[in-house]
Amino acid sequence: MQVEIGLEGLVFYGYHGVMNEEGALGNRFEVNVWLLAEVGSTAIDDDIHQTVDYYKIYALISQVMHERKKLLESLAQLISEAILSHFEQVAEVKVQVSKYNPPLKGLCERAYVTFTQKRG
């Protein structure tokens, strides 16, 4: 059985960005992730060992979000690669990384990138 699994609204404080000020002051970031995974008979068996553990997904994302990067694109790709490398049952990952109040010369609530990667 293939299912879509999502974790939305994961909030992190990080020091990502191109400008020196972003590395010094930091900012609020949000991550949303959606996975397509083959989970066997998980729904029938109610067995966590056959599905993707949300706690482990969060831990992988947290680890990536604590490594300073200049680009949101880099963060999204690294998160995707980490998930695919740790969970064989995941066929596709879609990751959205948002930065709140990006340093622009005007008002902008957030900037984001969305990255999709398929296994193989």
Three-state secondary structure of the chain: CEEEEEEEEEEEEECCCCCHHHHHHCEEEEEEEEEEEECCCHHHHCCHHHCCCHHHHHHHHHHHHCCCCCCHHHHHHHHHHHHHHHCCCEEEEEEEEEEECCCCCCCCCEEEEEEEEECC
Highest-confidence segment of 1-5, 48-52, 89-93: 89-93
The average pLDDT across 72-86 equals 98
- Encode pLDDT of 83-104 as tens digits: 999 999 999 999 999 999 998 8
Q: Name which of 22-26, 42-46, 73-77, 79-83 the model is least confident about.
A: 42-46
For the chain, list the domains and their CATH numbers.
2-118 (3.30.1130.10)
pLDDT of 15 over the 80 cut: yes
pLDDT at 89: 93
Q: Residues with catalytic annotation? A: 99
pLDDT at 23: 86
Place of tokens 């068996």: 45
pLDDT at 47: 79
Q: What is the mean pLDDT of the chain?
A: 93
